[in-house]
Amino acid sequence: MRDLEQLIDTLMMQIESSRNQAKRNLPTPRIHCYLENLGWVQYMKYDMNDFFEDVALNCTIQVKQKLYQFERFDDDSMLSTG
């Protein structure tokens, strides 16, 4: 559970980062990148059945995905807690 808490702390810092805030007023159209669920399963090496059955794993994976996308996909997506 500590890993999840650390990931959430990192997510909250990134949400407040100047890089994320700069995306708030970007003109439209905005460009967004997305990796399909099966891509995440292969990249992060988890079982999709476990993802849907284990709440802690589900939360951990979702936060990791948000952080990974923010750090590596140079698109117009803003981080949020939603």
Overall size of the chain counted in residues: 82
Report field, pTM of the whole predicted structure over 0.85: no
Q: pLDDT value at position 36?
A: 82
82: confidence class by pLDDT, cuts 50, 70, 90: low
Non-local (6+) Cβ contacts of 34 within 8 A are none
Q: How far is it, in rounded angstroms, from Cα 32 to Cα 75?
A: 5
- What are 17-56's pLDDT values in tens digits? 999 998 888 887 788 888 888 889 999 999 999 999 999 9
| Residue extents of the structural domains in the chain | 2-72
- What are 3-12's pLDDT values in tens digits? 999 999 999 9
Candidates 38, 81, 43; CA nearest to 59 is: 81
